[in-house]
């Protein structure tokens, strides 16, 4: 193999070292810093825009959460209002019902009392009229004029007996 001809080694190695040294120096001074800083700049730019995007995203998320919370609060409030309204309606209804019941009770009581009074009055009337009627009948039957006091006593006795038998 021609590559193993040691005659050329010294010149190859010498020029290799020299060329490498020159290339190293040139790249070190004029090429790498520019390219590296370029890369870093671009990376920084990308990172910045990524950061910004991330920032926007988190901001949006925060806003969304906020709105959500607001919405939730509103919903809860509405629910509360609805519940309160319902409760009030219920209460009003119950109150109404109670009042109605009381009213009805009262009206019923009044009516009963009225009826009772009317009945008593009617009984009284009937009694009085019956007494008069009885007197008249008795006078006609006995044909004897008794004095007013005796008449009344007999009649009352009779009526007492009558009302007793009536009430039985």
Site membership for another protein, residue 38 (CB under 8 A): yes
In angstroms, the CA 141 to CA 64 distance is: 111
Counting residues that bind another protein (by CB under 8 A) gives: 36
Site membership for another protein, residue 20 (CB under 8 A): yes
| Cβ-contact 155, 131 below 8 angstroms | yes
Site membership for another protein, residue 32 (CB under 8 A): yes
SS3 of 48, please? Answer: helix
Site membership for another protein, residue 48 (CB under 8 A): no
- Tell me the Ramachandran region of residue 112: left when phi exceeds 0, alpha when psi lies from -120 to 50, beta otherwise: alpha
Cβ 47 to another protein, closest distance in Å? 14
| Cβ-contact 122, 94 below 8 angstroms | no
Q: Which is nearer to another protein, 30 or 149 (CB)?
A: 30
Site membership for another protein, residue 26 (CB under 8 A): yes
Cβ 39 to another protein, closest distance in Å? 6
Residue 110 sits at the vertex; the CA angle it makes with 104 and 113, to the nearest 5 degrees, is 140
Residues near another protein, by CB under 8 A: 1-5, 7-17, 19-20, 22-24, 26-28, 30-36, 38-39, 41-42, 45
């Amino acid at each position: 193999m021609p590559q193993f001809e040691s005659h050329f080694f010294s010149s190859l190695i010498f020029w290799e070292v020299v060329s490498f040294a020159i290339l190293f120096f040139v790249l070190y001074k004029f090429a790498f810093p520019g390219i590296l800083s370029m890369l870093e700049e671009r990376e920084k730019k990308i990172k910045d825009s990524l950061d910004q995007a991330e920032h926007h995203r988190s901001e949006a998320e925060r806003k969304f959460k906020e709105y959500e919370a607001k919405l939730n609060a509103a919903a809860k409030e509405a629910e509360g209002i609805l519940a309160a309204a319902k409760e009030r309606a219920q209460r009003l209804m119950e109150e109404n019902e109670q009042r109605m019941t009381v009213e009805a009770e009262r009206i019923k009581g009044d009516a009963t009392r009225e009826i009772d009074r009317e009945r008593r009055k009617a009984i009284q009337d009937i009694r009085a009229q019956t007494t008069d009627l009885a007197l008249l009948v008795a006078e006609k039957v006995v044909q004897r004029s008794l004095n007013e006091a005796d008449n009344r006593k007999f009649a009352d006795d009779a009526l007492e007996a009558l009302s007793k038998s009536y009430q039985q």
